[in-house]
Structure 1
Amino acid sequence: MKSETSIHKWKLTVTIIVGFLLLFISFVASLSIGAYSIDFSKVLSSLFVQDGSKDEAIIETIRLPRAVVGMLIGASLAIAGAIMQSITNNPLASPQIFGVNAGASLMVVIGVVLFPDLAPNTLVYFAFIGAALGGVIVYYMASTGGGMTPVKLALAGITVHLFLSSLIEGVVLFNETSTEDVLFWLAGGIDGRNFGDVQILLPWTLGGVVLALLLSKSLTILSLGDDVARGLGQNIGLIRGTSAVIVIVLAGVSVAIAGPIGFIGLMIPNIVRTLIGSDYRIVIPVSALLGAVLLTISDVLSRFIAFPAESPVGIVTALIGAPFFLYLARKGGRTA
């Protein structure tokens, strides 16, 4: 028993150290790589010393807020996915598969088309409504006829996603003047983000993370099954309701700022549980760390797709995540 505990602590320590190292490297690469290249040494010095140079201006006004937005959204989507997989006891659950992203996207697009002068922070509430709507529809469809299974969840999620996506395309046709920008946003991208977006993201993200950590012990118990959770005195309805609110907040605000970036919430929690186990007091923070890493690295890679032009980061996460999803689906939703 002691040896198993030691091995687990060692794996956790290594995972955290490697995670922070990768986050630092990807963060510096995000500030350095682009149509205008900046030396790593200049990037590091500009973070601590202001010299009024062109390099410093590019870093502070364009690339730094983009990198921060990427880390916040990556962490938010990873935590949202971890929570969804716990409350459904289903490794295939994620904001994208559950229709949360598609629902939020639909409402944001409707808000942009019908009310073009809406402030970005107001669009967040449209995203919350859509996220809740999409999630409820998929959950209802996947739960009927004998209960929820990984395959039923995937089929229901894909069906609702395609349906809502078709509605989005129909809405976009009514606003041809901004069609190009909306389509780019729908692919999921964080380029062009600024500190105004950081200010919108930060309170919602921090609030969601804090609530998720407070709920983490209950999520661990719930992931063992409803009967076990009830036997240990857990209020399953309250846990699921609170968890749903956290998912809606984290996924909704992410979609409002960067569009429906997929697969982060699917991949990261499964990888984390494989590495360090299913204690959500650890899974939640480590998922946040690795989610930030994955989205930041993906954003750097996306800059090479059509260099020097920008490409949506959602292209890279889809290229990585689609094979992962197929792998899980072939295993029947089992990660081990």
Structure 2
Amino acid sequence: MTSTVPQPVASTPAQLPQLRRGSVRGLVVLAVLLVLAGLVSLAVGSRPISLGTVIDVLFHPDGSDASTIVHDLRIPRTVLALAVGISLGIAGALMQGHTRNPLADPGLLGVEAGAAFAVVIGISVFDVQDLTGYAWFSLVGAGLAAAAVFAIGSTRGGPDPISLVLAGTAVSALLMALTQAVIIRDVKALDEYRFWAVGSVSGRGMDVFWDVLPFIVVGLILAAMSASSLNLLQLGDDVASSLGLSPMRHKVIGVLGVMLLTGAATAACGPIGFVGLVVPHVARHFAGVDYRWVIPYSGFIGGLLVVGADVIGRVVVRPGELQVGIVMALVGGPVFIYLVRRTRMVRI
């Protein structure tokens, strides 16, 4: 009786895990979709404008009603929706990567709660009444809250993923309680705060965009610096260190990127939930697990999602409109429940 020794089976490319499925072609497709969504955003509203007219007045403003609507009203909100979507999408990818938690959201750093508390203080104490003032108070509050969470959740080895989540939850709860205490005692602050906190890109001018743009640009640079290191950090700090990476330095860079991107987006439009939570999962579905692709995919998909939500909000209750924050809650809520039900995804 002869025995046969099993021979190793050669793995074909189809059998190997695809760690890098993203492509420049995919980014080009998303960019084209973004341009189309932007044109639709310029055309749709309480007064519909044909795409032909939009394109004509976009390059040849003539002072007509259509030209005024496109340039003075719809371009600022479309540009802002795009910037906010890109910022929140990339911030979500960074946050989930650095915490190794697929249910992590940029709001876990206390950014949104800090921004809300600062805006309420600005309204109640300093009598701030314009959106530009809200933006600056929001940026300061977001930065201070995120710095506090970063300090509490860090050890000698740098930011600890679990400690950051716990610290962010605690700081957010404290700041939201303080916010409620202020607005309960100040009716004017409550009225103004409700306008900002609903999360909207309408009514904002290009001045708000220019105010937050420097913070977004720096945040995007930090995100680009974090992309390749995130792949190694997924293997654990010890393995990353053995491969010559400084986990603490790269975690600091990533968390600062999250702070700047989320703070700027919240300052510009108020808190818009679920973008940073949902978008990275969609990006990983198309781009795989390589963060060099996940981060740019998340930016494009985030921009597309927020612009699309803004357009939907103008259509469903015409001639009125739903704010982006409300539309995102209606869409993101069921998606969040779906992610939570998939319990195998919540392991850190």
Report TM bin, short chain: 0.7 to 0.9
Q: Aligned ranges for residues 44-193 of structure 1 at < 5 Å?
A: 44-117=55-128, 119-120=133-134, 122-123=136-137, 124-133=139-148, 148=162, 161=172, 164-193=175-204
* Counterpart residue type for residue 57 of structure 1: T
Alignment of 1:1-336 (within 5 A): 12-13=23-24, 15-117=26-128, 119-120=133-134, 122-123=136-137, 124-133=139-148, 148=162, 161=172, 164-332=175-343, 334=345
Q: 1:181 to 1:305 in 2, by over 3 A?
A: farther
Q: Deviations over 1:119-147 (max 9, x none)?
A: 4553222332134345666x58xxxxxx8
> In the aligned structure 2, how far is the partner of 1:312 from the partner of 1:188?
6
Structure 1 unaligned regions, length at least 5? 141-146
Q: Aligned AA for 1:130? A: A
**Take 1:310 and 1:331, find their aligned partners in 2: how far apart are those partners?**
34
Q: Which moved more, 1:210-219 or 1:172-181?
A: 172-181
Q: In the alignment, is the contact (CA less than 8 A) between 2:34 and 2:303 conserved in 1?
A: yes
Question: Which is further off, 227-236 or 284-293?
Answer: 227-236
The change in CA–CA distance for 1:193 and 1:333 in structure 2 (over 3 A counts) is farther
- AA partner of residue 148 (structure 1): I
- CA shift, 1:325, in A, is 1.6
Partner of residue 143, structure 1: none
Tell me if the contact between 2:49 and 2:66 (Cα under 8 Å) persists in the aligned partners.
yes
Give, in whole Å, the separation in 1 of the partners of 2:122 and 2:148.
15
What's the CA shift for 1:260? 0.8
Contact 2:227 2:292 survives alignment (8 Å): yes
Take 2:240 and 2:145, find their aligned partners in 1: how far apart are those partners? 30
Q: What secondary structure sits across from 1:47 in the alignment?
A: helix
Q: Secondary structure of 1:224's match?
A: coil
How many Å separate the matches in 2 of 1:10 and 1:225? 23
d(CA) in 2 for partners of 1:261, 1:274: 23
Q: Which runs of 5+ in 2 are unaligned?
A: 1-11, 155-160
Alignment-derived partner of residue 158 in structure 2: none
The 3 A distance-change label for structure 1 pair 161 and 9 is: closer
Which structure has the larger Rg over C-alpha atoms?
Answer: 2
Contact 1:76/1:251 (8 A) holds in 2: yes
Partner of 1:144: none
- Residue 41 of structure 1 deviates from its aligned partner by 1.1
When residues 178 and 17 of structure 1 are mapped into structure 2, their CA distance, relative to the original with a 3 A threshold, is same
Cα separation, partners in 2 of 1:282 and 1:24, compared to 1, 3 Å: same
Q: Secondary structure at the match of 1:262?
A: coil
Separation in 2, partners of 1:197, 1:122 = 9
Please give the per-residue CA displacement for 1:181-217, whole angstroms capped at 9, x wherever unaligned: 3213212111111110110122111111112112211
Kept in 2, the 8 Å contact 1:103–1:134? The answer is no
CA RMSD in angstroms comes to 2.9
Cα deviation, 1:53-108, whole Å, max 9, x if unaligned, reads 11111111111010000000111011111111111111111113443322322223
Indicate how the Cα distance of structure 1 residues 159 and 58 shifts in structure 2: closer, same or farther if over 3 A, else same. same
Distance in 2 (alpha carbons) for counterparts of 1:185 and 1:41: 34
**TM score, norm. by length of structure 1:** 0.86
Residue identity (%): 35
Q: Distance in 2 between matches of 1:175 and 1:333?
A: 45
Does the CA contact (< 8 Å) of 1:102 and 1:131 recur in 2?
Answer: no
Identify the range of structure 1 (73-82 vs 25-34) with the bigger mean alpha-carbon deviation. 25-34
